[in-house]
Amino acid sequence: MDIAWILILVAIGFVGSLISGMVGIGGSIIKYPMLLYIPPALGFVAFSAQEVSAISAVQVFFATLAGIFAFRKGGYINKSLVISMGIAIIIGSFIGAYGSKFIPDDVINLTYAILALIAGIMMFLPKKGDDNADYSKLIFNKPLAAGLAALIGILSGIVGAAGAFITVPVMLVILKIPTRVAIASSLAITFIASIGSTAGKLMGGHMLLIPSAAMVIASVIASPIGANISKKLNTKVLQWILAALIVATVIKIWIDILT
């Protein structure tokens, strides 16, 4: 077994999970392209899109769980929002993840690229949530939240991403959720979604034990660190970090697809 290969996977997991804890995503928006491109660029065997999505699914499960523990104090996780979107997204993510075994790699990559593009566009639309509002009295459209979560779950389940990279922009722009509540609640919703996507990937037979374990170890360490950093940053800074990550990924994925 190549130790350098394992260290590369741990490094990818650490970087992705550190940022995921900061901006409330599972980290797949970063780790999906990193897992797809970095190993072959360094001379190692490339993962298939199916394998990358399976590794991402189990990593997101542990990264978001660790992030939730870091955010559990402070009142930022809105239980009503988590329940409304969480139930719908876990059903959708299981359907998408299990169904992905019938989908070609090119279609999985295209699905991921389209989701990232939509998320990128939304990050530059006006955010109307009041970041200074009383978080305990949050009002939002529950049926709309559940419907959007189900759709996100199906599409993100296909790529093993749990959907947080698009859930946060949807919360900010459409549901008008304050930034810190969106970030913290998104981790909880993404954790729920990852249960469905991880189960679907396991049943689909694409899970790789050693790469997944390496990513999980890095996630459990890095995600809480990112969450604690997030609490100290200005909400506008957090939004711009997330926007920059999404845009960079969108550009890379679409260049590869089009060329």
Q: What is the pLDDT of residue 135?
A: 60
Average pLDDT over residues 86-100: 85
Q: How many Cα atoms are found within 13 Å in the side-chain-facing hemisphere of 17?
A: 32
**What is the domain extent for residue 98?**
3-258
* Closest C-alpha to 131, from 72, 65, 184, 178: 178
Q: What is the pLDDT of residue 134?
A: 57
Query: Distance between CA 244 and CA 182 in Å, rounded?
Result: 18
In the chain, how many H helices and how many E strands? 10, 0
Highest-scoring range by mean pLDDT, 30-34, 40-44, 131-135: 40-44
Coil, helix or strand at residue 49: helix
Q: How many domains does the chain have?
A: 1
CA distances from 37 to 48, 107, 108 (A): 10, 17, 15
Q: Which one has a higher pLDDT value, 24 or 82?
A: 82
Sorting pLDDT into bands at 50, 70 and 90, what band is 182? confident
Q: What is the pLDDT of residue 48?
A: 81
74: left (phi over 0), alpha (psi -120 to 50) or beta: left
Judging by beta carbons within 10 Å of its beta carbon (0-12, 13-18, 19+), is residue 3 exposed, middle or buried? exposed
Q: Which one has a higher pLDDT value, 161 or 111?
A: 111
- Residue showing tokens 């711009």: 240
Average pLDDT over residues 164-172: 82
Q: What is the pLDDT of residue 160?
A: 63
Q: What is the pLDDT of residue 144?
A: 94
Q: Which percentage of the chain shows pLDDT scores above 70? A: 88
The mean predicted confidence, pLDDT, of the chain is: 80
Query: Distance between CA 95 and CA 89 in Å, rounded?
Result: 10
**pTM, whole model, 2 decimals?**
0.67
Highest-scoring range by mean pLDDT, 121-130, 144-153, 165-174, 190-199: 144-153
- Decide: 177 and 127 in contact? Cβ < 8 Å: no
- Decide: 134 and 215 in contact? Cβ < 8 Å: no
- Decide: 21 and 66 in contact? Cβ < 8 Å: yes
Q: Crossing angle for the helix pair 49-71 and 105-122, nearest 10 degrees?
A: 40
Query: Distance between CA 90 and CA 151 in Å, rounded?
Result: 11
Q: Which two tokens stand for residue 170?
A: 């949807």
Sorting pLDDT into bands at 50, 70 and 90, what band is 77? confident
Q: Note the pLDDT tens digit of each residue in 111-156.
A: 878 887 887 788 777 766 566 665 666 788 999 999 999 998 888 7
Q: What is the pLDDT of residue 122?
A: 80
Query: Distance between CA 166 and CA 140 in Å, rounded?
Result: 18
Average pLDDT over residues 50-70: 78
Q: What is the pLDDT of residue 130?
A: 60
